[in-house]
Amino acid sequence: MDFSNIKLVVSDMDGTLLNSKGKVSNLFFELFQKLQDNNIHFCAASGRQHNSIVSKLASIKDLIYVIAENGGIVKKGDEMLVSYFLNPKKVQKLIPILRGISGANMVLCADNSAYIESKDERFIELFQEYYHSFQKVDDLMKIAKTIPIFKIAIYHFDSSEKYIFPIIQDFKNKVLLKISGQHWVDISDEKANKGNALKAVQKQLQISKEQTLVFGDYHNDIEMIQEAGISFAMKNAHEEIKKIANFTTESNDDFGVEIVLKKLITGAKK
């Protein structure tokens, strides 16, 4: 494959750039410097909160673009480039329905903070891996009435696809529903997906689809894969993503992203 035209690399985080321990490899940071040397830009794209993403990439956070909340926001450093908020009335309508799902835990995602009302200590401990800035409140409805919300994230310990998605799928014509992992479903504004967010980054950099390389592993990566000239699914990716992507690389625990970046850098030097 020909990497010589690539000017922008975009990677999902969980299941892709992050290994199963939630870490970014030292090798990636070495390769990032070489991307910089070859004038190739990097963008992290995740369903995670912005603060959570940059905590994983702290040493390079001011040098990269960040697509957070599944495309709800796009930032370069502290500069907000794109933001898509959910309609407050839709949020308020969804909260009672989500509260009624047995075993589900709900998160309201706002700029610089997330809000939960769950009392499940097991969830609260796990949730902090994805949301570094958060507040525990008594009533999420009060938050929804006063603070703009980018996304509602719902977690189920067994299966988001089996226990959450079927109950809310009637809303799919009113909001964007994404199964973003085995345990998570995300609800966003219709325009808030990683593909639209990536288009904004491409426009800012004046970089084309053909000059873009994307890595992903789950349903919330579909739109951004469609905006890439070259795309890779991880070996550990959902089967649907493997069908959509151009190629498959090794798993997130076997340096799948880094293996391709090495080839990209070698090609860029020619």
Give the pLDDT score at 181.
Answer: 83
Give the pLDDT score at 264.
Answer: 96
Q: Write the CB contacts of 1 (distance below 8 Å, at least 6 apart in sequence).
A: 230, 246, 247
Give the pLDDT score at 269.
Answer: 60
What does the pLDDT average to over 63-79? 94
What does the pLDDT average to over 54-64? 96
**Rounded Cα–Cα distance for residues 205 and 7 (Å):** 9
pLDDT band with cut points at 50, 70 and 90 for residue 74: very high
What does the pLDDT average to over 121-127? 93
Give the pLDDT score at 267.
Answer: 81
Instruction: Report residue 199 as tokens.
Output: 């288009």
Give the pLDDT score at 92.
Answer: 97
Q: Provide the 8-state DSSP code for 66.
A: E
**Rounded Cα–Cα distance for residues 176 and 169 (Å):** 10
Q: pLDDT tens digits for 150-187?
A: 999 999 999 998 999 999 988 888 999 988 888 999 99
Q: pLDDT tens digits for 79-117?
A: 999 999 999 999 999 999 999 999 999 999 998 899 999
Length of the chain: 270
pLDDT band with cut points at 50, 70 and 90 for residue 132: confident
What does the pLDDT average to over 29-43? 97
What does the pLDDT average to over 225-238? 97
Q: What is the pTM of this model?
A: 0.83
Q: Count CB neighbours of 224 within 10 A.
A: 29
Task: Please name every residue paired with 187 in a beta bridge, in sequence order, or none if there are none.
Answer: 152, 177
Q: Quick check: 54 pLDDT over 70?
A: yes
What does the pLDDT average to over 216-233? 96
Instruction: Report residue 125 as tokens.
Output: 């401990």
**Residue 187, helix vs strand vs coil:** strand
The percentage of the chain sitting over the pLDDT mark of 90, rounded to a whole number, equals: 87
pLDDT band with cut points at 50, 70 and 90 for residue 144: very high
Q: Provide the 8-state DSSP code for 251.
A: -
What does the pLDDT average to over 49-70? 95
Give the pLDDT score at 210.
Answer: 97
Q: Which domains does the chain have, with CATH numbers?
A: 8-83+192-269 (3.40.50.1000), 88-188 (3.30.1240.10)
Task: Identify the sign of the CA torsion 194, 200, 201, 202.
Answer: positive
pLDDT band with cut points at 50, 70 and 90 for residue 2: confident
Q: pLDDT tens digits for 4-30?
A: 999 999 999 999 999 999 999 999 999
pLDDT band with cut points at 50, 70 and 90 for residue 63: very high
